[in-house]
Amino acid sequence: MQSAPPTILCRGVTKRYDLGARSVEALRGVDLEIAGAGFFAIMGSSGSGKSTLMHLVAGLDRPTSGEVTVAGARVDRMSEAELTRYRRRQIGIVFQHFNLLPSMTALDNVMLPALLDGMPRAASERRARELLDELGVGARADHRPDALSGGEQQRVAIARALFFAPPVILADEPTGNLDSAAATRLFALLTGIARTHRTLLLMVTHEPAAAAHCERVIVLRDGTVAGAFDTTTPEQGKLDAGSLALRAQELARPTR
Ligand SMILES: Nc1ncnc2c1ncn2[C@@H]1O[C@H](COP(=O)(O)OP(=O)(O)O)[C@@H](O)[C@H]1O
Ligand SMILES: [Mg+2]
């Protein structure tokens, strides 16, 4: 199903929120290039623009200026109809709060975007069951979200995100509502997914231990990219969570 190369390219991206007399510059000129499958982290203090950037890449909102190109397509220029299709087919989104429909079973939650897209029920169900099995929640397919643990709900949400084999998956604090054991299992799962599905997985996190699972960390500060570094360095090898936190904090520190 997958065709477009997994890439995210931002050029001079700004985002201003106008709130009556006041306005907030959430992004002030983001330049960012991530090319190829892998697991990448975005870090930065609260309010640095992480979620705003994810929303623009996801096509949930439009930049005030600048270019957002994902898998070769200019997301900032898409019509509403193109954005709907883009969000369904080209991007998978995983949220902190899972965002599953409470009245539907796990299986129906995973199938829903496909049914909305006109895919026949039998084929949708086959694909959904295959993904739920792969994520280790096949036995929970007929349960509604409130009968599932947080970790299980997030696996169902990931199965839904993977349905159309999108080149890019975005996750905004995906383990924010999980205990640390469930979070650790989820990171192992996400690492495996980036590899086996050849997906570009971009995760917002404020936890160094989470970012340590990624191969590269991009740090935002005041709505711009303050810097980026690989989590494996020639000098230190694989950075542990402590060293990673130090590097991220150095970049995130206000310069004013
Ligand atoms: N929908 C919105 N309306 C107004 N201001 C917003 C909105 N979303 C975010 N902001 C503001 O933009 C800035 C960046 O927010 P956000 O992208 O959520 O940061 P982060 O995810 O890094 O904490 C903050 O000052 C925030 O208050
Ligand atoms: Mg946020």
- Could you identify the atom of ligand 1 that is nearest to the CA of residue 204? 21
Q: Whose CA is nearest to atom 18 of ligand 1?
A: 51
Ligand 1 pocket member 26 (CB < 6 A): yes
Q: What does the pLDDT look like over 72-85, one tens digit per residue?
A: 999 999 999 999 99
Q: How far is ligand 2, taken at its centre, from the CA of residue 107, in Å?
A: 29
Q: Enter the pTM of the model.
A: 0.93
Write down the H helix ranges in the chain: 50-57, 80-89, 106-116, 121-134, 150-162, 180-196, 208-211, 241-252
Q: What is the CATH number of domain 1-90+167-256?
A: 3.40.50.300
Specify whether the CB–CB gap between 43 and 205 falls below 8 A. yes
Q: What does the pLDDT look like over 117-169, one tens digit per residue?
A: 899 999 999 999 999 999 999 999 999 999 999 999 999 999 999 999 999 99
* Average pLDDT for the chain: 93
Lowest mean pLDDT among 144-148, 161-165, 205-209, 225-229: 205-209
Q: What is the model's pLDDT at position 3? A: 63
Q: What does the pLDDT look like over 39-53, one tens digit per residue?
A: 999 999 999 999 999
- Which helix (H) or strand (E) segment holds residue 170: the answer is strand 168-172
Domain boundaries, given as residue ranges, for the chain: 1-90+167-256, 100-165
Q: What is the model's pLDDT at position 256? A: 58
Q: What is the model's pLDDT at position 238? A: 93
Q: What is the model's pLDDT at position 43? A: 96
Q: How far is ligand 2, taken at its centre, from the CA of residue 47, in Å?
A: 7
Q: How far is ligand 1, taken at its centre, from the CA of residue 54, in Å?
A: 11
Q: What does the pLDDT look like over 177-201, one tens digit per residue?
A: 899 898 988 988 999 998 998 999 9
Distance of CA 165 to the CA centre of its chain: 14
